[in-house]
């Protein structure tokens, strides 16, 4: 082999080595590039998931807060409606009781019922029945008292009474007047709410 052939052979070996070395370096660079891209994608997915989780949590918090506000507003609205309904119901109840007192049958029922109650809770003597002035049923009440063995009963008109009676026996009083029946407003409103809830 002459010098030129030897040179060509050496150049080919050098070229082959260079090509092989370049291919190895390129393969390693491609592999490193794929690894770096995979890590970058994984890191990006983690960041996106974390950001989305934060957004979801923030969104869930905002939804929960909005729902709580809605529940509060509904409760406040319902309470305002209840207060308004009770405000309308109270004068109606008072008016209905006054009308019942003005009705002969209603008044007689009112008196008899409360005299029966008084008979079970008050001693059977020395009753004073306080009543509105110009009460036409005093005779009927007197007859009931005599028939039920209540002795020494007296009658006392009171201009402050609009409807109903108060039965006084010593230190004890059964207040069946309009004001007495409506005295426990909280309890009455509780019963009215019960009826309003049943009607709703």
Q: What is the pLDDT of residues 70-86, one digit of tens each?
A: 898 998 888 888 888 88
What is the pLDDT averaged over residues 141-149?
Answer: 86
pLDDT at 84: 84
Question: Of 179, 64, 177, which Cα lies nearest the Cα of 130?
Answer: 177
pLDDT at 199: 58
pLDDT tens for 14-41 read 787 788 888 888 888 888 888 888 888 8
Between CA 140 and CA 73 the distance in angstroms is: 55
What is the pLDDT averaged over residues 154-182?
Answer: 91
**Cβ pair 177, 164 in contact under 8 A:** yes
102 vs 24: which has the higher pLDDT: 102
Distances (CA, A) of 65 to 71, 139, 183: 10, 68, 42
Taking each helix axis from N to C end, the angle separating 104-121 and 3-102, rounded to the nearest 10 degrees, works out to 100
- pLDDT band with cut points at 50, 70 and 90 for residue 1: low
């Amino acid at each position: 082999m002459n010098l030129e052939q030897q040179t060509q052979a050496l150049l080919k070996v050098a070229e082959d080595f260079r090509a092989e070395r370049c291919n190895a370096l390129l393969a390693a660079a491609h592999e490193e590039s794929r690894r770096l891209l995979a890590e970058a994608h994984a890191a990006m997915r983690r960041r996106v998931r974390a950001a989305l989780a934060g957004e979801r949590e923030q969104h869930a918090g905002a939804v929960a807060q909005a729902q709580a506000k809605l529940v509060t507003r509904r409760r406040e609205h319902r309470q305002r409606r209840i207060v308004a309904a009770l405000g309308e119901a109270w004068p109606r109840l008072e008016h209905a009781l006054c009308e019942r007192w003005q009705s002969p049958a209603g008044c007689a029922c009112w008196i008899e019922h409360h005299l029966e109650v008084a008979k079970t809770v008050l001693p059977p003597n020395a009753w004073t029945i306080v009543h509105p002035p110009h009460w036409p049923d005093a005779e009927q009440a007197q007859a009931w008292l005599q028939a039920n063995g209540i002795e020494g009963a007296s009658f006392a008109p009171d201009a402050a009474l609009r409807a109903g009676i108060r039965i006084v026996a010593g230190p004890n009083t059964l207040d069946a007047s309009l004001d007495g029946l409506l005295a426990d407003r909280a309890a009455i409103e509780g019963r009215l709410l019960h009826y309003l809830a049943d009607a709703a």
